[in-house]
Structure 1
Amino acid sequence: MGYLSDIEIARAATKRPILEIGAALGIPPEALLPFGHDKAKITADFIANIETRPAGKLILVTAINPTPAGEGKTTTTVGLGDGLNAIGKRAAVCIREASLGPCFGMKGGAAGGGRAQVVPMEDINLHFTGDFHAITSAHNLLAAMIDNHIYWGNELDIDPRRVTWRRVMDMNDRALREVVASLGGVSNGYPRQTGFDITVASEVMAILCLARDLEDLRARLGEIIIGYTRAKAPVTARDLKADGAMAVLLAQALLPNLVQTLEYTPAFVHGGPFANIAHGCNSVMATRTALRLADFVVTEAGFGADLGAEKFLDIKCRQAGLAPDAVVIVATVRALKMNGGVTKDALGSENVEAVRHGCANLGRHIANVKSFGLPVVVAINHFVTDTEAEVRAVQEFVAGHGSEAILCRHWAEGSAGITELATRVAEIAERGAAQFDFLYPDDMPLFEKMETIAKRIYRADEVVADASIRERLEVWEKAGYGHLPICMAKTQYSFTTDPARRGAPTGFPIPIREVRLAAGAGFIVAICGEIMTMPGLPRVPAAETIGFDARGEIHGLF
């Protein structure tokens, strides 16, 4: 039996006018700024007026460490939202926007899959409402103003050797990681080494996703540290008088985007910071708005729970005043077999022992999430190659860890295939079992925060950092930044910094290569191992198979 591709399913869907989707949440037409008939932004005035409403239940969807076998976290997030509506709950979905880099690279899009998708899938995976372009422009405006200030006399005495603000673009391009700018003579400025990051790694992206409103956005933009003077004093975007223009460029992008799932569940698709380089969650404004409009809000955090969920809880929830009522950890039999040592080409054959062995990775994530005081349910995202014995092995393992694992068939069946999980999640959330607390307090020293994450979440035995890194952290503490949370930037594929070490290793070091102060976003970035802030394309990028067919329709998106 052949299956339709994601794009074929999405293209065949009958969408409702976006005004109807908004009306289902009680959003009046005048509070929507339509982009065509099937997507819209929600106005700032409306969002401000509903801020005092009681919040609905917040469900966080996370996953085991990603593998080439696939886990389906976004698909499960969308499916669970549809499932909650199917059992009579008023639910909405909150996910991130897709970056063009991975869309044309290896990962593909970010709109879910099968019968659990948000639409219009093609728009969401491409330019959408232009948010990422606005972020790229605001970021690069600041970069241009830095070099322009230096060119015209450098009144602030910026040290060109200590400019830390790089440029960005929303594409994977390894050739731009390290570049020399301003070559070509006196009229082009002062040559210096710099580089590009991908847009989703920009502090501007993180700021947009953590800001509560336009005023907060501008204040955070002004706090961005772009480099240092020759006397080693920090220079901010506010010092360069760039924050106002940046806020103007971002004003519309700050407004949450409203679309729909294939089953007409309202979906807020807004923001998209990477989860290994940044904090990996959709925007605070979208999440808080959805919570004031729906009884249940299902959102996701990027990659595995060691990255996305930890940052969602310790960064986003800390800054936004949020607290999840339940957590769903997504796993697949295929991915667990890979964690158990099975190669990708052998995943179609039953191997119960490999499943049991690979469940160690799942068990680590269950224990970690529970350590935050949160109830956990495991969603087994079904594949046709799964056998009853393999599924039973996962369920028995999870039961032994004090949780339950529920088989979900939403990819093939939509909401009908996930009502069991929806019912159980609703019961847990409505029971009020969560006793959420952060992993570490605000007043813990910065290096101890890094050690706490590394030892309690990753199970490392030490954090390795040069004396210069420790000294920089101490300087930041003395400057008043010691209360900030930590954003660990490491590989998503492993608890370690080695992407090849699957499963649940223990007793390894976490090397900190570099630390960055994201003063506007409000966190400290610790770059671990060989993580890159500008990814490269794979040997065979997805872009090679994307194009138009004979009917003029896009093909190859997934």
Structure 2
Amino acid sequence: MAYKSDIEIAREARKKPIQQIGDRLGIPAEHLLPYGHDKAKVGQAFIDSVQDRPNGKLILVTAINPTPAGEGKTTTTVGLGDGLNRIGKKAVICIREASLGPNFGMKGGAAGGGMAQVVPMEDMNLHFTGDFHAITSAHSLLAAMIDNHIYWGNELDIDIRRVAWRRVVDMNDRALRQITCSLGGVANGFPRETGFDITVASEVMAILCLAKNLKDLETRLGDMIVAYRRDKTPVYCRDIGAEGAMTVLLKDAMQPNLVQTLENNPAFVHGGPFANIAHGCNSVIATTTALKIADYVVTEAGFGADLGAEKFMDIKCRKAGLRPDAVVIVATVRAMKMNGGVAKANLGTENVDAVKAGCANLGRHVENMQKFGVPAVVGINHFVTDTEAEVQAIRDYCAGLGVEAILNKHWAEGGAGIEATARKVVELCEGGTADYRPLYPDEMSLADKIEAICKGIYRADGVQIDGKIRAQLKEWEEQGYGNLPVCMAKTQYSFTTDPNRRGAPTGFEIPVREVRLSAGAGFVVAICGEIMTMPGLPKVPAANSIRLNDAGQIEGLF
């Protein structure tokens, strides 16, 4: 049976005018800033006007560690939103925007798939409403102003060897990881080493996704540490005087984007920090707004639950005062087999023993979510090659953990294929058993927070933090940053720092290579193993297949 591609399905969508989608949520047309007919930004005045309303129920969709076999977390998030609306609930979906780098690399887009997509898919996976360009511009303005300050006499006594603010571009480009700038003589400034990160790794992105409003955004931008003086005291963005102009550039980007699913249900698509090098959640302003205007809000956290969900619980919920009511953990039969040692080429062949062996990875994620006090259900994302025996093996395994596993067919059937999970989610939310609690308290030391995550979530035997890094953490604590949460930067493919160690490994340690203070975003980044803040393109990038066809339509996005 030949299936249509995601982009072919999206192209056939019968979209409604975005004002009709807003009307379903009680958003008057005058509070929508349209970008064409099918997407709009929601104005701050409307957001301010609903703050006294009670919150709806918050559902997090997370997953096992990603494999080349595919898991379908965003697809499940979109499908569940459609499923909840199908059973008569007023539900909104909240997901992240797509980065151009992975779109043209190998990961693909961020709009879901099959019959569970958010549209317009092509716009969402390309320039959308320009939010990422605004973030790149704001970040670049600050970089330019730092070098300009140094050029015009360096009144702040910045040590040019200790400029911490790198540059960003929203593209995978390994050639920019380490560069030398200001070459070419006196007129071009003082030569120094720097580099580029991908835009989604920018602290500006993290701040946009955690700020409550424009005033909070400007304050956080001003709090960013951009360099150090010769006496090693920090230089803040506000010392450079850039936060006001940066906020102007981010004024529209700060407002959530409203779009719709294939089934014409509302979706907020806003923000996009990576989950392996940042906190991996959509914006606080989108989630909190959705909670005020819907009964159920379905959101996701990037990559596996060891990264995205942990950061959702320990950073986003902690900082935004959110209390999740239920968690859906996405898994596939194919991914279980891959975790059980089966090669990708053989995933279409029934192998119940491999499924059982691979379930250890799922089990660890289930146990981890239980540590946060939020009830969970496992969603098995259906593939046509799955056999009943393989699906039953996952059901039986989960039953042994006291968690129900439900087969979902939303990719092929849309909201109708995930109604059982939607009803289970409602049951969990209404059961009132959620007792959210972060993994560690604010007052715990930064080194102990890192250890709490590595031992409690990854199940490492220990953490390798050398004396220099411990001294840096201690110094930040003395400067008043000790109460910040920790954002772990680690490979998404394994509980370890080795991307090739699948399943539920034991007998390993987590090496912390570097720590960075994101004072504006409000967390400390611990970089573990060989994680890159600027990805590279694969040998055959997806960009090779992306083009306009003879009808002027985009081909190759997925």
Q: TM-score range by the shorter chain?
A: over 0.9
Partner amino acid, structure 2, of 1:472: Q
Q: State the match for 2:341 in structure 1.
A: 341
CA distance in 2, matches of 1:455, 1:427: 32
Superposed, 1:294-309 pairs within 5 Å as 294-309=294-309
Are 2:520 and 1:520 equivalent residues in the alignment?
yes
Q: State the match for 1:435 in structure 2.
A: 435
- What are the Cα deviations for residues 444-484 of structure 1, in whole angstroms up to 9, with x where unaligned? 00000000000000000111011110000000000000000
Partner amino acid, structure 1, of 2:460: A
- Shift of the alpha carbon at 1:103? 0.3
Superposed, 1:401-412 pairs within 5 Å as 401-412=401-412
Partner amino acid, structure 2, of 1:231: D
TM value normalised by structure 1: 1.00
Q: State the match for 2:368 in structure 1.
A: 368
Partner amino acid, structure 1, of 2:26: G
DSSP 3-state at the match of 2:526: strand
Q: State the match for 2:321 in structure 1.
A: 321
- Shift of the alpha carbon at 1:507? 2.2
Partner amino acid, structure 1, of 2:426: A
CA distance in 2, matches of 1:52, 1:163: 43
CA distance in 1, matches of 2:315, 2:34: 31
DSSP 3-state at the match of 2:78: helix
Superposed, 1:489-528 pairs within 5 Å as 489-528=489-528
- What are the Cα deviations for residues 225-257 of structure 1, in whole angstroms up to 9, with x where unaligned? 001000100000000000000000001000000
Q: State the match for 2:262 in structure 1.
A: 262
Q: State the match for 2:465 in structure 1.
A: 465
- What are the Cα deviations for residues 350-377 of structure 1, in whole angstroms up to 9, with x where unaligned? 0000000000000000000001111010
Q: State the match for 1:236 in structure 2.
A: 236
Q: State the match for 1:422 in structure 2.
A: 422
Q: State the match for 2:87 in structure 1.
A: 87
CA distance in 2, matches of 1:320, 1:352: 43
Are 2:444 and 1:444 equivalent residues in the alignment?
yes
Superposed, 1:41-190 pairs within 5 Å as 41-190=41-190
DSSP 3-state at the match of 1:364: helix
Partner amino acid, structure 2, of 1:136: T
**Structure 1 spans left out of the alignment, 5+ residues:** none
CA distance in 1, matches of 2:263, 2:429: 23
- What are the Cα deviations for residues 271-324 of structure 1, in whole angstroms up to 9, with x where unaligned? 000000000000000000000010000000000000000000000000000011
Partner amino acid, structure 1, of 2:217: L
- Shift of the alpha carbon at 1:179? 0.2
- Shift of the alpha carbon at 1:551? 1.1
CA distance in 1, matches of 2:149, 2:538: 38
- Shift of the alpha carbon at 1:17? 0.2
CA distance in 1, matches of 2:326, 2:220: 30
Q: State the match for 2:3 in structure 1.
A: 3
CA distance in 2, matches of 1:154, 1:227: 12
Are 2:386 and 1:386 equivalent residues in the alignment?
yes
- Shift of the alpha carbon at 1:52? 1.0
CA distance in 1, matches of 2:12, 2:261: 13
Partner amino acid, structure 2, of 1:93: I
Q: How many residues align?
A: 558
DSSP 3-state at the match of 2:238: coil
CA distance in 2, matches of 1:450, 1:460: 11
Partner amino acid, structure 1, of 2:279: H
DSSP 3-state at the match of 1:477: helix
Q: State the match for 2:23 in structure 1.
A: 23
Partner amino acid, structure 2, of 1:372: F
CA distance in 2, matches of 1:106, 1:336: 22
Are 2:310 and 1:290 equivalent residues in the alignment?
no
Q: State the match for 2:36 in structure 1.
A: 36
- Shift of the alpha carbon at 1:158? 0.3
Partner amino acid, structure 2, of 1:334: R
CA distance in 1, matches of 2:515, 2:287: 29
CA distance in 1, matches of 2:227, 2:434: 42
CA distance in 2, matches of 1:235, 1:463: 31
- What are the Cα deviations for residues 144-183 of structure 1, in whole angstroms up to 9, with x where unaligned? 0000000000000000000010000000000000000001
CA distance in 2, matches of 1:338, 1:493: 12
CA distance in 1, matches of 2:372, 2:444: 17
CA distance in 2, matches of 1:385, 1:323: 37
DSSP 3-state at the match of 1:418: helix
Q: State the match for 1:539 in structure 2.
A: 539
DSSP 3-state at the match of 2:507: coil
- Shift of the alpha carbon at 1:418? 0.3
DSSP 3-state at the match of 1:215: helix
DSSP 3-state at the match of 1:239: helix
Partner amino acid, structure 2, of 1:339: N
> Which stretch has the larger CA shift, 505-514 or 146-155?
505-514
CA distance in 2, matches of 1:293, 1:512: 42
Over the residues paired in the alignment, what is the CA RMSD in angstroms? 0.4
- Shift of the alpha carbon at 1:530? 0.2
DSSP 3-state at the match of 2:457: helix
CA distance in 2, matches of 1:128, 1:287: 19
DSSP 3-state at the match of 1:458: coil
- What are the Cα deviations for residues 30-71 of structure 1, in whole angstroms up to 9, with x where unaligned? 110000100000000110110110000000000000000000
- What are the Cα deviations for residues 398-446 of structure 1, in whole angstroms up to 9, with x where unaligned? 0000101000000000011000000110111011110110100000000
DSSP 3-state at the match of 2:240: coil
Partner amino acid, structure 1, of 2:56: G
DSSP 3-state at the match of 1:449: helix
DSSP 3-state at the match of 2:491: coil
**Structure 2 spans left out of the alignment, 5+ residues:** none
The runs of at least 4 consecutive aligned structure 1 residues that moved more than 2 Å come to none
Partner amino acid, structure 2, of 1:506: T
- Shift of the alpha carbon at 1:265? 1.0
CA distance in 1, matches of 2:430, 2:214: 33
DSSP 3-state at the match of 1:275: coil
CA distance in 2, matches of 1:107, 1:434: 33
CA distance in 2, matches of 1:512, 1:18: 46
- Shift of the alpha carbon at 1:554? 0.6
Are 2:340 and 1:352 equivalent residues in the alignment?
no
Are 2:216 and 1:216 equivalent residues in the alignment?
yes
CA distance in 1, matches of 2:371, 2:208: 29
- What are the Cα deviations for residues 329-356 of structure 1, in whole angstroms up to 9, with x where unaligned? 0000001100000000000000000000
CA distance in 2, matches of 1:465, 1:320: 30
